[in-house]
Amino acid sequence: MGIGSGIFLIVVGAILAFAIAPDTWEVVNLNIVGYICIAAGIIALILGMVYTRQRANTSHREVVERYDDRTPPPVR
């Protein structure tokens, strides 16, 4: 899960928690499902930011070979 899926879960959870009337579907309480989606979205958002930050902290080293000590090959 990345940053985009975390934002998606937060939006879907907010719609379920705040925009749907509590008595529209009697099998499952959609408000609780919405709050769970919001919590999962926040966790996914935080983990996505942490992983992106770790990926940005890489260091690169450039290796330059020097040919000063070598003799040129003989010409034929």
Confidence (pLDDT) at 26: 76
Q: Could you tell me if residue 38 is inside a domain?
A: yes
Q: Could you tell me if residue 71 is inside a domain?
A: no
CB 37 within 8 A of CB 7: no
CB 3 within 8 A of CB 41: no
Domain tally, the chain: 1
pTM over 0.75: no
The Cα–Cα gap between 15 and 28 comes to: 15
Residue 49 lies in domain = 3-56
Give the model confidence (pLDDT) of 3-57 as tens digits: 899 999 999 999 988 988 776 677 888 889 999 999 999 999 999 988 887 776 6
Q: Could you tell me if residue 20 is inside a domain?
A: yes
Q: Could you tell me if residue 40 is inside a domain?
A: yes
Q: Could you tell me if residue 69 is inside a domain?
A: no
User: Which tokens is 4 given?
Assistant: 């985009």
